[in-house]
Structure 1
Amino acid sequence: MLLSCLAKCDLYEHVLFNGRPLIPSISKIQRLIETAWQKGFDRAGCEQLGGRVINTTKWIGATEIVATLSSLKIKCQLIDFHTPTGSNSTHPQLFEWVKSYFKNVDKYKPPLYLQHQGHSRTIIGLEQTKDGSLRLLLFDPSCRKPQMTQFLQDISPNLMRTLRRPLHTLKAKQYQIVSIQGVLTDKEYQESKMLKSEQIP
Structure 2
Amino acid sequence: MDSSSCPFCHLTVPSSELEWHANSHFEVEDEQLAKDLEFAQQLAFAPSSPPSMNRQTISNLQFARFDGQCSIKESISCLVALQTRTTFCEIKGGVMALLRECLELEPRNTTTILCGYTDHIQSIRSEDSGWGCGWRNIQMLSSHLLMQRKETREVLFGGAGFVPDIPSLQRWLEIAWEKGFDAVGSDHFANKIFGLKRWIGTTECAALFRSFGLRARIVDFGPKELEPYYISLPGSSLGEEVKRMHNGGKRKEIQGNYDNSGNKFSRKSKGHQVLMDWIWNYFHDNNFTQTGNHRVFISDKTPLYFQHDGHSRTIVGIQVKNQHNGMQQHNLLILDPGHRTADLERSLKEKRGWQKFIKRGVHTLRKPQYQLCYIDPGIASGEEVELFKTVDSVFLEL
TM-score by length of 1: 0.90
Within the candidate set 158, 163, 167, 2:353 is matched to 158
CA contact (8 A) 2:348 2:354 kept: no
Q: Which residue of 2 aligns with 1:96?
A: 277
3-state SS of the aligned residue for 1:46?
A: helix
> What is the CA RMSD across the aligned residues, in angstroms?
1.9
The runs of at least 4 aligned residues of structure 1 exceeding 2 Å deviation read 17-20, 82-86, 148-154
1:24 equivalenced with 2:164 (yes/no): yes
Q: Name the SS for the 1:134 alignment partner.
A: strand
- Note the alpha carbon deviations across 1:118-155, whole angstroms, 9 max, x for none: 2110000000012211110000011112222226736x
Task: Evaluate the alpha carbon distance shift between residue 3 and residue 118 of structure 1 in structure 2; reply closer, same or farther with a 3 A threshold.
Answer: same
For 2:216 and 2:314, locate their aligned partners in 1 and report how far apart those are by CA, in whole Å: 15
Larger-gyration structure (1/2) = 2
Which residue is equivalent to 2:305? 113
1:199 and 1:157 mapped to 2: Cα distance?
Answer: 38
Q: Which residue of the partner structure matches residue 136 of structure 2? A: none
Unpaired stretches in structure 1, ≥5 consecutive residues: none
Structure 2: tracts of 5 or more residues without a match: 1-139, 225-268, 289-299
Local SS of the residue matching 1:153: helix
Aligned to 2:147: 8
For residue 61 of structure 1, report the CA deviation from its aligned partner. 1.0
| Aligned 1:53-72 pairs, distance under 5 A | 53-72=193-212
Q: % of aligned pairs identical?
A: 32
Name the structure, 1 or 2, with higher relative contact order (CA <8 Å, separation 6+): 1
Contact 1:7 1:17 in 2 (8 A): no
Deviation of 1:172 after TM superposition, in Å, equals 1.1
The offset of 1:18, in angstroms, is 5.7
User: Given that residues 313 and 334 in structure 2 are in contact (C-alpha distance below 8 angstroms), is that contact kept between their aligned partners in structure 1?
Assistant: yes
Q: Does 1:181 align with 2:376?
A: yes
Number of matched pairs: 197
Provide the secondary structure at the position in 2 that maps to 1:133: strand
Instruction: Measure the CA separation in 2 of the matches of 1:11 and 1:151.
Output: 34
Cα distance, 1:68–1:199 mapped onto 2, change above 3 Å: same
Please give the alpha-carbon distance, in whole angstroms, between the structure 2 residues aligned to 1:176 and 1:66. 12
Question: How far does residue 17 in structure 1 lie from its aligned partner after superposition?
Answer: 4.8
Greater displacement, 101-110 / 34-43 = 101-110
Distance 2:365 2:201 in 1: 18
